């Protein structure tokens, strides 16, 4: 009985601990800040939806990357976004995002997947990556089924 309780406890705690570790290693922080603890290491920057909108309204070319599921993307998305689900970044980014110096702004639903995807992109050599967090914080126009 005690062993069963320990197994149940582990099956509930381990996923939570994994998520916490993922958020910590992915640089899940707020503000417009660098996420690298090592000087000179590649980084992505966390930005607010307001800052992302300012950047999008500027003259610089950018890629807006949605890393949610296809169903989430069809339901509601930021206009002009490209979909690459976060679990497919490693396989698809080299072909679909060939310019490693391009300005890439990444978002998901609430911010955890965008942080993980931004971290993955930086690890793959992308140099100009911004994590704008979740579409839940986007108070501007969207496209898709639900508005």
| Helix, strand, coil % over all residues of the chain, rounded to 5 | 45, 15, 40
**Per the domain annotation, does 13 fall within a domain?**
yes
DSSP per position, 24-74: HHTT---SSEE--SSTTS--EEE--HHHHHHHHHSSS--EEEE-S-HHHHH
Q: What is the CATH number of the domain that holds 66?
A: 3.40.250.10
pLDDT band, very low/low/confident/very high, at 35 (cuts 50, 70, 90): very low
Q: What is the mean pLDDT of residues 125-137?
A: 97
CA angle 48, 36, 62 (to 5 degrees): 45
Mean pLDDT (the chain) is 83
**Per the domain annotation, does 144 fall within a domain?**
no
Our count of domains for the chain comes to: 1
Q: Is 105 helix (H, G, I), strand (E, B) or coil?
A: strand
Q: Is the model's pLDDT at 21 over the cut of 90? A: no
**Per the domain annotation, does 19 fall within a domain?**
yes
Rounded Cα–Cα distance for residues 2 and 6 (Å):
6
What is the value of pTM for the model shown? 0.72
pLDDT, position 42: 72
pLDDT, position 22: 47
Structural domain including 43 reads 2-137
Q: What is the mean pLDDT of residues 105-123?
A: 97
């Amino acid at each position: 009985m005690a062993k069963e309780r320990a197994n149940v406890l582990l099956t509930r705690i381990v996923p939570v601990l994994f998520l916490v570790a993922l958020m910590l290693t992915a640089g899940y922080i707020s503000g417009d800040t660098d996420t690298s603890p090592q000087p000179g290491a590649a980084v992505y920057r966390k930005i607010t939806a307001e800052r992302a909108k300012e950047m999008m309204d500027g003259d610089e070319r950018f890629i807006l990357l949605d890393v949610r599921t296809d169903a989430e993307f069809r339901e509601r998305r930021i206009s002009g976004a490209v979909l690459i689900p976060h679990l497919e970044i490693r396989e698809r980014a080299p072909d679909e995002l060939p310019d490693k110096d391009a300005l890439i702004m990444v978002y998901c639903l609430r911010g955890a997947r965008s942080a993980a995807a931004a971290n993955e992109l930086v690890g793959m050599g992308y140099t100009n990556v911004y994590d704008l967090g979740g579409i839940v914080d986007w108070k501007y126009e969207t496209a898709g089924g639900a508005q």
